[in-house]
Amino acid sequence: MFVKRFEELNKDLFEECGGKAAHLGELTSLKLNVPGGFSVLGQAYYHHLEVNGLKGRIDEAAAKIDFDDFQGLEEKTKEIRELISAAPVPPEIEKEIVESYAALSRDGVEPFVAVRSSVAIKDSPVSSFPGMMDTFHYIRGAQNVVQKVKECWASVWSGRAAFARHSKGLDYNKAVIAPTVQLMVNSEMAGVLFTINPITGSKDEIVVESNWGLGETVVCGRCQSDLYVMTKNPVSIKDKRVAKKHETYRQAEGGGAEWAEVTGEKVSRATLTDAQIEELCKIACLIENHYGCCQDIEFAYEKDNLYILQARRARAGGEQ
Each residue of 68-91: pLDDT tens digit?
Answer: 999 999 999 999 999 999 999 999
Is there a contact between 156 and 119 (Cβ–Cβ < 8 Å)? yes
Contact 296, 320 (CB under 8 A): yes
Report the pLDDT averaged over residues 281-301: 96
Three-class DSSP category at 41: coil
Q: Residue 79, class by beta-carbon neighbours within 10 Å (0-12 exposed, 13-18 middle, 19+ buried)? A: middle
pLDDT at 132: 64
CA–CA gap between residue 78 and residue 196 (Å, rounded): 38
Please say if the pLDDT value at position 27 is more than 60.
yes
Q: What's residue 106's pLDDT?
A: 85
Q: Where are the beta strands (DSSP E) in the chain?
A: 3-5, 37-40, 113-116, 119-121, 135-139, 175-177, 180-183, 189-194, 205-212, 226-231, 236-241, 247-251, 257-261, 295-302, 305-313
Rounded Cα gap, residues 156 and 98, in angstroms: 22
Report pLDDT for 127.
52
Nearest to 39 by CA among 104, 124, 131, 110: 104
Alpha carbon 286 to its chain centroid, in Å, reads 21
Distance CA(222)–CA(220), nearest Å, equals 5
pLDDT of residue 129: 58
What is the pLDDT at residue 130?
A: 56
Question: What's the DSSP call for residue 167?
Answer: H
Angstrom distance (rounded) from CA 54 to CA 42: 16
Those residues whose C-beta lies under 8 Å from the C-beta of residue 182, and which sit 6 or more positions away, are 6, 24, 35, 36, 37, 113, 114, 116, 309
Residue % of the chain over a pLDDT of 70? 95
For CA atoms 165, 170, 176, 182, the dihedral sign is negative
Look at residue 318 in the predicted model and tell me its pLDDT: 42
Report the candidate in 164, 154, 157 with the shortest Cα–Cα distance to residue 130: 164
Q: What is the pLDDT of residue 107?
A: 82
Per-residue pLDDT of 212-263, as tens digits, reads 999 989 988 888 999 999 999 888 889 999 999 999 999 988 778 899 999 9
Confidence tier at 170 by pLDDT (50, 70, 90): confident
11: closest CA among 301, 291, 215?
291
Say yes or no to pLDDT of 125 above 70. Answer: no
Q: Is the Cβ–Cβ distance between 207 and 224 less than 8 Å?
A: no
pLDDT grade for 296, boundaries at 50, 70 and 90: very high
Structure confidence at residue 128 (pLDDT) = 58
User: What value does the mean pLDDT take over residues 110-125?
Assistant: 88
In order of start, what are the domains of the chain with their CATH numbers? 3-183 (3.30.1490.20), 189-318 (3.30.470.20)
For residues 103-121, give the mean pLDDT: 91
Q: Supply the angle between the helices 42-51 and 55-63 in degrees, to the nearest 10.
A: 100
Q: How many CA atoms lie within 13 A of 69 on its CB side?
A: 9
Number of neighbours of residue 96 by Cβ within 10 angstroms: 18
Residue of 309, 314, 257 whose CA lies nearest to 20? 309
| Residue 33 CB burial class (10 angstroms; 0-12, 13-18, ≥19) | middle
- Sign of the Cα torsion 115, 117, 122, 123 reads negative
pLDDT score recorded for residue 319: 42
What residues pair up with 205 in beta bridges, in sequence order?
231
pLDDT for 92: 98
